[in-house]
Amino acid sequence: MTKLKIALQKSGRLSDKSAELLREAGIHFPNDGSKLRTEASNFPLEIYLLRDDDIPQYVADGVADVGIVGLNVVAEKDKNLKVAERLGFGKCRLSIAVPKNEPFSGIADLNGKRIATSYSRIVSRYLKEQGISAEIHEISGSVEIAPGIGLADAICDLVSTGSTLLTNGLREVVTVMHSEAVLVARPDLSREKAELLDKLVFRLQAVRKARNHKYILLNAPNERIPEIARVLPGMKSPTILPLATEGWSSLHSVVEEDTFWEVIEQLKALGAQGILVVPIEKMIV
Ligand SMILES: Nc1ncnc2c1ncn2[C@@H]1O[C@H](COP(=O)(O)OP(=O)(O)OP(=O)(O)O)[C@@H](O)[C@H]1O
Ligand SMILES: O=P(O)(O)OC[C@H]1O[C@H](OP(=O)(O)OP(=O)(O)O)[C@H](O)[C@@H]1O
Ligand SMILES: [Mg+2]
């Protein structure tokens, strides 16, 4: 039987969330932390646990068929890979930062400067696009220390909360790219493997949509139902059920996580009562 081979980060920022996403998609596999190769028991999937930097190369070489890795690593390694799905976790940005007291009036200030980074390819490409000529110092980690020890004038590294920059006396001045975990695939998969990839993507989408939506139930006077239904269009239209209390109905729908609180405010203003919000496990539209 054909199996799809997937590469996941062994241990790091993406590991737990990658495994959790597969489990939520109903794919079960043993993960005792020491085995670097394992198999799903209920989906034709073989799992390799690797360093994240190696994943694009393994997928490009056909050692693995697909992989979960940060878009930042995909862009840096620059292999011929297809992004099959954005996964919505591991969100961060790749930014240029300078010592906090250093004046910075624009990207042109980087001309002739030394920039320390682990992302030399992305940074070179970016500086070239911007017409800036700077010296790039490639280092593999602890990039934020570079200006403090006289190794560079600026850095380019991943930022999420900004606390690492703050602790190291740096300030973010330019965002080079936004990143999140993505599922990447080799573009030349066999038909059987491409079908398995489609099945996997379908399941991941169902999990992701469910995570981004909530199921909402509320009571409302019948005369307010049309207005409330406009605020809560749901997947097609809301379900409306009569309550035992004369002149009242119960309305069920789905609401997006991002707009959730604004929608609740509007519903309250429209006279909704007894609002219940529950998580959705899977969502297939
Ligand atoms: N602060 C952050 N917030 C959110 N996501 C991040 C953050 N830092 C990194 N990431 C994302 O997680 C990915 C993995 O980061 P991690 O620090 O685990 O990598 P690593 O140290 O290179 O791991 P490995 O040992 O596998 O090489 C990054 O490539 C990026 O996409
Ligand atoms: O903006 P913040 O929330 O502070 O996050 C940014 C830091 O996170 C990442 O490092 P990580 O903590 O993963 O350590 P690593 O460099 O050892 O991989 C990244 O390289 C930054 O140093
Ligand atoms: Mg790495």
Indicate which CATH number applies to the domain containing 52: 3.40.190.10
Query: What is the DSSP pairing of strand 66-70 with strand 4-9?
Result: parallel
| Ligand 2 pocket member 162 (CB < 6 A) | yes
Residue 167 lies in a domain: yes
CA distances from 217 to 2, 110, 168, 234 (A): 44, 55, 48, 11
In this predicted structure, what is the pLDDT of residue 31? 79
Residue 202 lies in a domain: yes
In this predicted structure, what is the pLDDT of residue 5? 98
Contacts of 82 (CB under 8 A, 6+ apart): 184, 185, 186, 187
Residue 285 lies in a domain: no
Diameter of the chain measured on Cα atoms: 77
In this predicted structure, what is the pLDDT of residue 233? 83
**Amino acid identity for residue 260 in this structure:** F
Looking at the CA of 146, name the nearest ligand.
Answer: 2
Atom of ligand 2 nearest to the CA of 160: 1
Q: Is 115 helix (H, G, I), strand (E, B) or coil?
A: strand
- Domain boundary at 210, 225, 259, which? 210
> Tokens 């070179």 map to which residue?
124
- Do 202 and 218 share a domain, yes or no? no
Atom of ligand 2 nearest to the CA of 118: 20
The residue to mutate among 10, 13, 21, having the most atoms of ligand 1 within 8 angstroms of its beta carbon, is 13
Using a 10 angstrom Cβ sphere, with 0-12 exposed, 13-18 middle and 19 or more buried, the burial of residue 34 is exposed
Per-residue pLDDT of the chain (285 residues; tens, 9 = 90+): 899 999 999 999 999 999 999 999 999 999 777 889 999 999 999 999 999 999 999 999 999 999 999 999 999 999 999 999 999 999 999 999 999 999 999 999 999 999 999 999 999 999 999 999 999 999 999 999 999 999 999 999 999 999 999 999 999 999 999 999 999 999 999 999 999 999 999 999 999 999 999 999 999 999 999 999 999 988 899 999 999 999 999 999 999 988 989 999 999 999 999 999 999 999 998
Cα separation, 54 vs 52, whole angstroms: 5
For residue 144, the CA-to-ligand 2 centroid distance in Å is 9
Q: Read off the tokens for 36.
A: 């670097």
- Do 61 and 185 share a domain, yes or no? yes
User: 237 is in which domain, residue-wise?
Assistant: 213-279
Looking at the CA of 67, name the nearest ligand.
Answer: 1
In this predicted structure, what is the pLDDT of residue 285? 85
Is residue 256 a contact partner of residue 208, using CB atoms and an 8 Å limit? no
Say what the pTM is: 0.92
For residue 14, the CA-to-ligand 1 centroid distance in Å is 7
| Ligand 1 pocket member 233 (CB < 6 A) | no
Atom of ligand 2 nearest to the CA of 167: 4
What is the dihedral sign for C-alpha 233, 235, 237, 238? negative
Here the ipTM equals 0.96
> Tokens 């790039």 map to which residue?
136
- Domain boundary at 165, 193, 210, which? 210
Atom of ligand 2 nearest to the CA of 164: 4
Strand order in the sheet with 66-70: 37-39, 45-50, 4-9, 66-70, 181-185, 82-86
In this predicted structure, what is the pLDDT of residue 73? 98
Strand order in the sheet with 92-99: 135-138, 114-117, 154-159, 92-99, 170-179
- Do 232 and 246 share a domain, yes or no? yes
Residue 132 lies in a domain: yes
- Do 127 and 259 share a domain, yes or no? no
Cα separation, 144 vs 165, whole angstroms: 7
In this predicted structure, what is the pLDDT of residue 212? 93
Looking at the CA of 13, name the nearest ligand.
Answer: 1
